[in-house]
Structure 1
Amino acid sequence: MTPTPAAPMSGYITTGQAAARIGSTPQYVRELIHAGHFEAIDIGTGERARFRVTAESVEKFLTDRTVRPVSPSEVAA
C-alpha cells in the first residue's frame, strides 16, 4: 500500500515554489506566512515547520501588488 502524503495534493505549493512565483526566497515566503500574507499549513512533525502555501494566496498576493497604468485624468486630479 502506498502511504498517503502529509499535505493535500492540489492547491498547495512549497515555500520554494512560492518564492519562485514571487521572485524571492523561501525565507521571505516564511516571513510572509508569519505576517499573515499567505495562507499555509504546517506539515512538519518535529520542531521545525515545513509549510505548504495555498497557490490561491500567492496569486492574490501578486494581484494585490500589481501596478496598473494611471490615466492622465487621474494624474491631474
Structure 2
Amino acid sequence: MKAPQLLKPSEAARRLDVSRPTVYDIVAAGHLDVVTVGTGTRPGIRIPEESLARYIEARRVRARKPLRAAA
C-alpha cells in the first residue's frame, strides 16, 4: 500500500492561496483531516493530500451563467 502524501500547513496554504493561520482555522473547524507527527507538548501536523483534495472539491461552485469575456 502506498503511503499518503502529507503536506505541511504552509504547503497546504500555498495550494489554497491562503495564510498558514487560515489553514489552522480550517483544521480547527473540522474541515481537514490531519496526522500528528512528532512528540512532546506541541506535536506538528500534516495534512493528507487527499483530504485537501476533498476540501477543495466540496467547495467547488459552478457558474450559473457564462462569465463574460473582458472586452
Alignment partner, residue 24 of structure 2? 30
Stretches of structure 1 that go unaligned for 5 or more consecutive residues are 1-8, 72-77
What is the aligned length? 64
Scaled by the length of structure 2, what TM-score is found?
A: 0.75
Q: Which has the larger radius of gyration?
A: 1
Which of 27, 34, 49 is 1:55 aligned to?
Answer: 49
4+ long deviations beyond 4 Å:
none
CA RMSD of aligned residues (A): 1.9
Q: Percent identity?
A: 27
Stretches of structure 2 that go unaligned for 5 or more consecutive residues are 66-71
Scaled by the length of structure 1, what TM-score is found?
A: 0.70
| Per-residue Cα deviation, 1:12-47 (whole angstroms, up to 9, x for no partner) | 111000001111111111121121111101113122
